[in-house]
């Protein structure tokens, strides 16, 4: 366990936020598209039309993928101050912010500051023999991000790049955003963020900053870079892997690590996002999607639901050109093409998100394993005097749970697969491939 203290304390509103994440270019059918739509189509306004759905789901924040001018998928930015013309205009962004604000929905932007697109004006100037100090020289050319020729790495040691990033981030916070997801933050020196973020916080102390970090020293990155949070890929992997492999010992180890992270920061938790295979496709048994969701919403963290996962969308990410398209589809109307299974999964999301919002202490709850086997996992989520007991069963036979064994006299069943409503029990059985959530009384 680390002795590091939190580098920063996040704004209070984050305790209550549950993000619904979208990839805007795909969501509105702007990429891939031939021909590409123009700004006169105002496609970003289609996102605003989904805000009532966000509220119906129970979410309270809209996490946007890239919305700034780019050449292809949004992560090859050419103008950080301009809304991508395929999405619309500045006025369309203002409309989205206003409609979200009217409903109390927060907005999180996706900031790509590790690299820029090949059509970024300063890069074109550098190629023509002009000032090249914004970019890193490599092999007679300039460094690229993970070998992608169209993604040109910025020189993060250049004070002008620091100033530029501060001004871009502040500009959009001024325009009504509430925070930033920092793309590929793991590839950027921590000292760069440590120069940028305090300056942005001076002007927007209530803004929230989450770095995309895949693996490594999460606590060290948060401390040194001055992030509020990072993406919790360790827990994401352990959730689907333990369910597929029938190995809840892996999950228990990951949750022990997760509790250590919570000593210094609150991670962004998820079971799906725009960069990974959808959870309904990742899991071998579709019945276990609910188990993954229960874990997301009963453990500490700031939860994010990837649009479509709440109704059982499927999609496989592939390592090839266009390999992300299947997990970044265009959306029609709510529930278009969604059968009864998808609608039931939506209702389960509603119920569990509602439970999460009624128990905001879960934001920083620690978990304690009460009973662990390969196919059964019972844990307590606790914060102060508050406790919920969660029982997961991925076996084909019932899982017996005796509360007195855990020092708990009685508990009310508050949610579960096949659970009787509001039943108070001392002994219970979790149905085959089922789950229960109990509140001690």
The residues that bridge with 435 in the sheet, in sequence order, are 392
Give the domain extent around 397.
367-440
Q: Is the model's pTM score more than 0.85?
A: yes
Please report whether residue 142 resides in a domain.
Answer: yes
Q: What is the pLDDT of residue 31?
A: 98
Please report whether residue 251 resides in a domain.
Answer: yes
Q: What is the pLDDT of residue 2?
A: 39
350 and 395 housed in the same domain: no
Domain-ending residue, one of 364, 393, 416: 364
Q: What is the pLDDT of residue 420?
A: 66
Low-confidence stretches of the chain (pLDDT < 70) are: 1-9, 419-422
CA separation for the pair 394, 410 (Å, rounded): 24
> C-alpha dihedral over 214, 216, 222, 228, to 10 degrees?
30
357 and 429 housed in the same domain: no
329 and 397 housed in the same domain: no
- Domain of 243, CATH number, reads 3.20.20.80
329 and 271 housed in the same domain: yes
402 and 257 housed in the same domain: no
Number of structural domains in the chain = 2
Please report whether residue 3 resides in a domain.
Answer: no
Please report whether residue 122 resides in a domain.
Answer: yes
CB neighbourhood size of 45 (10 A)? 18
33 and 128 housed in the same domain: yes
Instruction: Read off the pLDDT of residues 296-335 as tens digits, 9 standing for 90 and up.
Output: 999 999 999 999 999 999 999 998 988 999 999 999 999 9
359 and 374 housed in the same domain: no
Please report whether residue 6 resides in a domain.
Answer: no
Please report whether residue 1 resides in a domain.
Answer: no
Please report whether residue 247 resides in a domain.
Answer: yes
Domain-ending residue, one of 314, 339, 364: 364
356 and 417 housed in the same domain: no
Domain-ending residue, one of 341, 364, 387: 364
């Amino acid at each position: 366990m680390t002795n590091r203290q939190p580098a920063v304390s996040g704004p209070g509103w984050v305790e209550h936020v549950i993000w619904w994440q979208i990839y805007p270019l795909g969501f509105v059918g702007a990429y891939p598209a031939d021909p590409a739509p123009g700004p006169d189509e105002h496609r970003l306004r289609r996102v605003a039309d989904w805000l009532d759905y966000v509220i119906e789901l129970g979410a309270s924040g809209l996490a946007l993928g890239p919305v700034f001018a780019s050449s292809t998928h949004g992560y090859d930015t050419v103008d950080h101050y301009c809304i991508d013309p395929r999405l619309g205009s500045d006025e369309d962004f203002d409309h989205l912010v206003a409609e979200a604000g009217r409903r109390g929905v927060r907005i999180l932007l996706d900031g790509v500051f590790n690299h820029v697109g090949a059509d970024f004006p300063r890069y074109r100037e550098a190629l023509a023999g002009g000032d090249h100090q914004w970019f890193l020289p490599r092999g007679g050319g300039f460094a690229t991000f993970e070998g992608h020729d169209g993604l040109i790495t910025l020189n993060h040691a250049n004070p002008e790049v620091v100033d530029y990033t501060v001004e871009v981030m502040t500009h959009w916070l001024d325009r009504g955003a509430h925070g930033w997801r920092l793309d590929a933050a793991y590839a950027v020196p921590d000292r760069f963020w440590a120069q940028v973020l305090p300056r942005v916080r001076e002007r927007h102390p209530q803004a929230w900053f989450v770095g995309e970090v895949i693996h490594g020293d999460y606590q060290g990155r948060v401390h040194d870079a001055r992030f509020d949070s990072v993406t919790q890929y360790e827990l994401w992997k352990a959730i689907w892997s333990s369910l597929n492999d029938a190995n809840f010992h892996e999950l228990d180890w990951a949750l022990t690590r997760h509790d250590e992270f919570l000593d210094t920061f609150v991670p962004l938790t998820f079971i799906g996002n725009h960069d990974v295979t959808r959870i309904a496709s990742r899991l071998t048994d579709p019945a276990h999607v609910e188990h993954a969701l229960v874990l997301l919403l009963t453990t500490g963290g700031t939860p994010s639901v990837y649009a479509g996962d709440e109704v059982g969308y499927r999609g496989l990410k592939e390592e090839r050109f266009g390999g992300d398209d299947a997990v970044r589809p265009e959306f029609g109307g709510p529930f278009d093409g969604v059968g009864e299974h998808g609608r039931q999964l939506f209702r389960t999301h509603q119920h569990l998100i509602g439970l999460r919002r009624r128990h905001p202490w879960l934001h920083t709850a620690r978990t304690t394993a009460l009973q662990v086997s390969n196919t059964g996992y019972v844990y307590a989520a606790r914060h102060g005097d508050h406790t919920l007991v969660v029982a997961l069963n991925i076996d084909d036979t019932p899982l017996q749970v005796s509360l007195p064994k855990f020092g708990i006299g009685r508990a009310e069943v508050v949610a579960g697969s096949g659970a009787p409503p509001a039943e108070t029990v001392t002994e219970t059985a979790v149905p085959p491939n089922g789950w229960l959530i109990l509140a001690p009384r």
